[in-house]
Structure 1
Amino acid sequence: MPAAITTSDVRAGDRTLRVSTAGDPSATPLLFLHGSGPGVTGLSNWERLIGDLGDRYYCVAPDTLGFGDSDHPNPPPRGMAAFTELRVAATWALLDALGLEKVIPVGNSYGGQMSLAMTLERPERIEKVILMGSGGMPDLKPLPGLVKLIDFYDDPTEEAMAELLSLFVHDPAAFGDRLREIAAARIPRATREDVRRSHLATFDFSAGGRIGWQPDELARIEQEVLVIAAREDRIVPPEVSLYLSRNIPNARLHVVPNCGHWSQIEYPEMFARLVDGFVRGAF
């Protein structure tokens, strides 16, 4: 039976973050960091997983600063590098507020970049790292799916949202009407002015700043890292995961076939087994 999920607003320094948790706070803490995209939240990425793993771990899934129902800075930092720096600082403040000294981040896509940034910034507070469809490779040319995500506000309609979400999975037909239902649920949040403002600021490439790491930087990561890649990912190519796994000394790579960018949603039971086995040291 899935663990109960509690959602509340937590004061993290001078910011307030919407946070969903499951499990015993005395258990090993897993920090679930969602990806980017219009209308995304911690629960929209991780609800099934934190429910399934909450019987063994303390699962923490925030809406990252500038996403969902967490605070949206106004004016926001311009560019992904500057906004990521502020988001990482807010996430550390959240962990302090929750009394979590050391965590295992589970990062999807942009959440993977957040996980890497946190690991390089304060390695003493990171036990292990799990990355799924993560960014982090410098000078990467965006795939058409990622371009569609970035440019969503050129046509912020429910139809466009449904089309975007269909690119996140390998086989949209397997989801029936579910992707359209998710799109309909996301649109009211995605079209809020604060969410739009944060999205456009994040993807303001005129602001400069790098968004990936060179091999010598990744080589400084001493933690064990599980890198999960989806073979048919149309948002972040699996080559990024290969790059990360080759350059992080204690990384191992798991490739999921017949899967798009949402392996935790397309194959939730498999994903939970991978997380559990890696955290327990079973492989």
Structure 2
Amino acid sequence: MEEVNNRIVKSANNTYINECGASHKEAILFLHGSGPGASAWSNWQYIMPEFGEKFHCIAPDLIGFGKSNHPENPPKGMRNWMRLWIDQIISLLDELKLEKVHMVGNSMGGAISLQLLMDFPDRFNRVVLMGPAGAPTTITSELDRTWGYYDDPSPELMANIISWFSYDNSFIGDQLGEIAKMRHEASSDPNIRRSFEAMFPAPRQQHLDELIIPNGSLRNMNHPILIIHGQEDLLVNVETSHYLIKHLPNAQMHIFGHCSHWTQIEYKESFHFLLKEFFEKNY
């Protein structure tokens, strides 16, 4: 297992990154999702130490999340945030002198990955989309409550959100209340709250709609893409991945049964195996 380090990369937008693996190895960029209090580390803490043995792994906190910048006057609307994130990622790759990287995008990070492929196709190689947004779908009540967390934030609601992210909460054991309390306290940071509320004001269907990648752009993406989704995903309906597989010309898909939104946690070993095969053996 490789040790994961973290630092601030100073570029156009100062970005907090988690990083492991030697810089001469093939690089994988990991993009996190959008839950309240989410960060790169909360999404990728299990996979990075293992994959750092063979890859140079970089997992940034997106602007408005974790320890990266939180604008004093945050943009309004998902399109404006998306532009900010795209600029952040490309500036980060430039600063790290990474001409071309593999990429793994989780949920909203999957939609950001697709936008990056559309805008900067030559900067990316093989791509994994996990429970991705970016396709037409109706917002679920669970995602609506998750993005609306700050309407009435509480440890109890945070516990509900955590339970929605997994099909079977037994792996959490009796720690759900403690984990929810910690995540609630982390999400109470005024900078995090200001950013999150600016990202996802009601009505929230509009934000999913603004993440949609046009069909013509999807058909022009010739990158090898692996789509992974949980059949019982309560946050992003599995229909989004079925839609993407129909329009992406060089994609394959793996669906985990009895799994919700946290495939990288609920099926950790299988998830790691799929990514290793995809990145190492180029199947």
Aligned residue identity for 2:74 = P
Shift of 1:282: 4.6
What is the letter of the counterpart of residue 141 of structure 2?
P
SS at match of 1:254: strand
State the distance in 1 between where 2:27 and 2:259 align: 27
Contact kept, 8 Å, 1:19 with 1:62, in 2: the verdict is yes
In 2, Cα distance between equivalents of 1:79 and 1:26: 38
**Structure 1 position 182, deviation (Å):** 2.8
The alignment partner of 1:226 has SS state of strand
- The offset of 1:179, in angstroms, is 3.5
Return the letter of the residue paired with 2:14. T
Partner of 2:173: 176
Deviations 1:54-89 (A, max 9, x none): 101111111111101100112111111110111110
C-alpha distance in 2 between matches for 1:74 and 1:244: 36
Deviation at 1:7, TM superposition (A): 1.0
Residue 26 in structure 1 maps to residue 39 in structure 2: no
Give, in whole Å, the separation in 1 of the partners of 2:152 and 2:21. 39
Letter in 1 for 2:2: A
Describe the SS at the equivalent of 2:57. strand
Q: Which moved further from structure 2: 92-101 or 247-256?
A: 92-101
Which residue matches 2:141? 144
Deviations, residues 12-33 of structure 1 (Å, cap 9, x unaligned): 22x2111101111111111010
Moved more, 191-200 or 242-251: 191-200
AA of the residue aligned to 1:275 = L
RMSD: 1.5
Percent identical across equivalent pairs? 36
Question: 1:252 deviation in Å?
Answer: 0.5
Verify the 8 A CA contact 1:33 1:111 in the aligned structure 2.
yes
Task: Determine if the alignment matches structure 1 residue 162 to structure 2 residue 154.
Answer: no
Q: Structure 1: which amino acid aligns with 2:193? A: R
Aligned equivalents of 2:53, 2:224: Cα separation in 1: 23
1:258 maps to amino acid: H
Instruction: List alignment gaps of at least 5 residues for structure 2.
Output: none
Question: Which amino acid is the alignment partner of residue 7 of structure 1?
Answer: N
Q: Per-residue deviation at 1:101? A: 1.0
The amino acid of 1:244's aligned partner reads L
Matched residue, 1:125 = 123
- Cα distance in 2 for partners of 1:92, 1:25 equals 17
TM-score of the superposed pair, with normalisation by structure 1: 0.95
- Could you say which residue in structure 1 is the equivalent of 2:75? 77
**Partner of residue 190, structure 1:** 187
Given residue 172 of structure 1, which amino acid in structure 2 is its aligned partner? N
Residue 195 of structure 2: SS of its match in structure 1?
helix
1:1-283 matches, within 5 Å, as 2-13=1-12, 15-138=13-136, 140-204=137-201, 210-283=210-283
Distance 2:173 2:52 in 1: 28
- In structure 1, runs of 5+ residues without a counterpart are none
Shift of 1:202: 1.2
Tell me the amino acid that sits aligned with residue 219 of structure 1: R
Distance 2:252 2:183 in 1: 34
